[in-house]
């Protein structure tokens, strides 16, 4: 995941954290956790095969929320993906 402001990597030290939610095909929160910083502007969320195998077949959504120490309102982005069984 890339976290940036005005096309520049957001400094890791300026973020409270980056969290993620996986919303399954039925609309329920299937997974959640904290992303890990790789370097300024780059974060990763690794999911295990055991976790992804529990997802229902269909359209799922990954929602990422970044909370800054410098701005009061967190920001979020999402992406849809399809799980096949």
CATH number at residue 71: 2.60.40.1220
State whether the Cα torsion 79-27-31-47 is positive or negative: negative
Q: Residue 42: give the domain boundaries.
A: 4-83
Total number of domains constituting the chain: 1
pTM: 0.86
Q: What is the pLDDT along the chain (85 residues), one digit of tens a residue?
A: 899 999 999 999 999 999 999 999 999 999 999 999 999 999 999 999 999 888 988 999 999 999 999 999 999 999 999 998 7
CA dihedral of 29, 46, 42, 39, whole degrees rounded to 10:
130
All residues at 6 or more sequence positions from 78 whose CB lies less than 8 Å from its CB, including other chains: 61, 62, 63, 64
User: Look-up: residue for tokens 């701005």?
Assistant: 71
Strands (E), the chain: 4-5, 8-9, 15-23, 29-34, 36-39, 42-44, 58-68, 75-83
């Amino acid at each position: 995941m890339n976290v940036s402001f005005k096309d520049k990597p957001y400094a890791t030290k300026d973020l409270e954290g980056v969290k993620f939610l996986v919303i399954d095909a039925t609309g329920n929160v299937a997974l959640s956790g904290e992303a890990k910083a790789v370097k300024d502007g780059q974060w990763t969320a690794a999911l295990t095969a055991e976790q992804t195998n529990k997802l229902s077949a269909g359209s799922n959504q990954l929602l990422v929320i970044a909370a800054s120490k410098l701005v009061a309102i967190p920001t979020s982005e999402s992406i849809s993906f399809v799980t096949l069984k």
